[in-house]
């Protein structure tokens, strides 16, 4: 998305986008070199929440000054408190729903940095910690506004320590989609919403009032989250079917674009099964991610097959498996397209 903003008419928007893209490249390289196995695993059954929020005061010096640690009272900075609370919410979700002990399942401390750089238009997991920008105030708001975004970044860490999906092309789009899936589920969990009641939006509130759009992505209806050319020429570019899969030479092969296809597949599974989406649909996706059988460069087709196997293993030949098979077929993932 940000690549297109480097061509925006407003020089302030161009400058913020260029700086963000440069920083993102540096931080994602760090993520590639990050560990993928937990160190010093805690005893089985023990779950310990340890949050620390840092503040760079709009500089690039990571992690910044410690401003709130586990158990400390709220501070006057709303961004710090939102980050702290969402880290706890996501930890609780993974613990209570799937029995997972933090990002690495071994009680990895949850570190987050806020107020990173000036006008930084992103949120990011760098392989060890989460980083949140304040946005440029023109197109983007503070990236802690939507708890689904913070849960999304934490889930990149979960993927790193489980399936390790390579961050490019289809496996990269799956990496992004998995983060969207569990980001949305965390928000639904917090609100006590069923699949039918949820908004299925990622990044709600991230756009300033100047922007025509409700969120960054919609899992319910990919391609409809925003219409503003200042975000993307022609509006939301996400496809909802393999017929509209985009082969591009930027965004690591379109990882933030083509994730709309598996995103929509999950939405269809969740709404077909009904009830709380984290209970069955989410369990199938979590089982798939943690099975140890998913290739790091898995294609959409391979991931779809893995979810079907996970559904069959946990629920048998029932309506859950049928929902999975129908959803992937609906989005055109049947082995005949793009791998």
Same structural domain for residues 141 and 173? Answer: no
Among 116, 143, 160, identify where a domain stops: 160
Q: Is residue 338 part of a domain?
A: no
**Which whole number is the average pLDDT over 142-148?**
97
Q: 17: pLDDT confidence band, cut at 50, 70 and 90?
A: low
187 and 308 housed in the same domain = yes
Question: Model's pTM, two decimal places?
Answer: 0.89
| pLDDT for res 46 | 83
- Is the residue at 318 inside a domain? yes
* E strands in the chain: 51-55, 65-69, 110-114, 123-125, 130-132, 201-202, 217-218
Confidence grade of residue 339 (pLDDT, cut at 50, 70, 90) = very low
Residue 316 sits in a domain whose CATH number is 1.10.390.10
DSSP 241-297: SGGG----SSHHHHTTTTTHHHHHHHHHHHHHH-S-TTTTHHHHHHHHHTSS-S-TT
Overall domain count for the chain? 2
Cα dihedral 136/254/180/170 (nearest 10): -160
**Average pLDDT for 208-231:** 96
Q: Is residue 202 part of a domain?
A: yes
Taking residues 219-235, what's their average pLDDT? 94
- Residue in 115, 256, 264, 320 annotated catalytic: 256
DSSP letter, residue 125: E
Please provide the average confidence, as pLDDT, over all residues in the chain.
Answer: 91
293 part of a folded domain:
yes
Q: Which of 153, 176, 302, 320 is catalytic?
A: 153
**DSSP-derived 3-state class of residue 124:** strand
Q: Does residue 68 lie in a domain region? A: yes
Query: What are 101-135's pLDDT values in tens digits?
Result: 999 999 999 999 999 999 999 999 999 999 999 99
**Does 57 qualify as catalytic in the annotation?**
no
Task: Based on the fold, state whether residues 181 and 296 are members of the same structural domain.
Answer: yes
- Asked if residue 66 and residue 111 are part of one domain, the reply reads yes
Query: Which has more pLDDT, 288 or 20?
Result: 288
Q: Do 57 and 6 belong to one domain?
A: yes
Residues 190, 320 within the same domain: yes
| 82 domain-assigned | yes
Give the model confidence (pLDDT) of 42-61 as tens digits. 445 688 999 999 999 999 99
Examine the residue annotation and report whether 153 is marked as an active-site residue of this protein: yes
pLDDT, average across residues 15-23:
63
Which residue in this structure is represented by tokens 């960054």? Answer: 216
pLDDT at 235 over 90: yes
Q: Tell me the pLDDT band of 74, cut-offs 50, 70 and 90.
A: very high
Long-range contacts of 226-230 (CB under 8 A, 24+ apart): 230/5, 230/8, 230/10, 230/13, 230/139
- Which tokens is 210 given? 């100047």
| 336 in a structural domain | no
Q: Does residue 294 contact residue 302 with C-beta atoms inside 8 Å?
A: yes
CATH code of residue 107: 3.10.170.10
Q: Measured between alpha carbons, how far is 314 from 129 in angstroms, rounded to an integer?
A: 33
What pLDDT does residue 33 have? 58
Least confident of 97-106, 229-238, 267-276, 279-288: 229-238
Quick one: CA torsion of 63, 22, 86, 209, rounded to 10 degrees?
130
One domain, residues 121 and 84: yes
Residues 188, 220: one domain? yes
| Across 276-295, average pLDDT | 98
The answer on 181 and 138 residing in a single domain is: no
188 shares its domain with 319: yes
pLDDT in the model for residue 260? 98
pLDDT of residue 334: 78
Query: Residue 26: what pLDDT?
Result: 64
Domain range for residue 286?
169-330
């Amino acid at each position: 998305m940000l690549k297109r903003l480097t061509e925006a008419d407003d020089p302030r928007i161009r400058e913020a986008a260029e700086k963000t893209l440069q920083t993102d490249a540096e931080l994602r390289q760090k993520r590639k070199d990050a560990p993928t196995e937990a160190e010093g695993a805690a005893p089985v059954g023990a779950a310990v929440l340890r949050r620390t929020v840092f503040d760079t005061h709009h500089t690039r010096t990571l992690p910044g000054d410690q401003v709130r640690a586990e158990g400390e009272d709220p501070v006057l900075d709303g961004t710090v408190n939102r980050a702290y609370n969402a880290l706890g919410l996501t930890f609780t979700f993974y613990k209570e729903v799937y029995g997972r002990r933090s990002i690495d399942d071994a009680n990895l401390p949850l570190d987050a940095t806020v107020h990173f750089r000036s006008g930084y238009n992103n949120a990011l997991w760098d392989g060890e910690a989460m980083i949140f920008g304040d946005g440029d105030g023109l197109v983007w708001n503070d990236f802690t506004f939507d708890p689904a975004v913070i849960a999304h970044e934490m889930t990149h860490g979960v993927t790193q320590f489980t399936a390790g999906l390579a961050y490019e092309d289809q496996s990269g789009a799956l990496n992004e989609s998995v983060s969207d899936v569990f980001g949305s589920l965390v928000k639904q969990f917090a609100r006590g919403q069923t699949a039918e009641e949820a908004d299925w939006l990622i990044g709600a509130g991230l756009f300033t009032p100047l922007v025509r759009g409700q969120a960054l992505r919609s899992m319910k209806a990919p391609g409809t989250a925003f219409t503003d050319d200042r975000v993307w020429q022609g509006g939301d570019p996400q496809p909802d079917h393999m017929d509209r899969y985009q082969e591009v030479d930027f965004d690591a092969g379109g990882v933030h674009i083509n994730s709309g296809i598996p995103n929509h597949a999950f939405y269809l599974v969740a709404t077909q099964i009904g009830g709380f989406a984290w209970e069955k649909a989410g369990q199938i996706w979590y089982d798939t991610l943690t099975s140890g059988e998913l290739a790091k460069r898995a294609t959409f087709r391979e991931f779809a097959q893995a979810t079907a196997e996970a559904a069959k293993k946990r629920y048998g030949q029932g309506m859950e498996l049928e929902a999975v098979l129908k959803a992937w077929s609906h989005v055109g993932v049947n082995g005949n397209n793009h791998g």
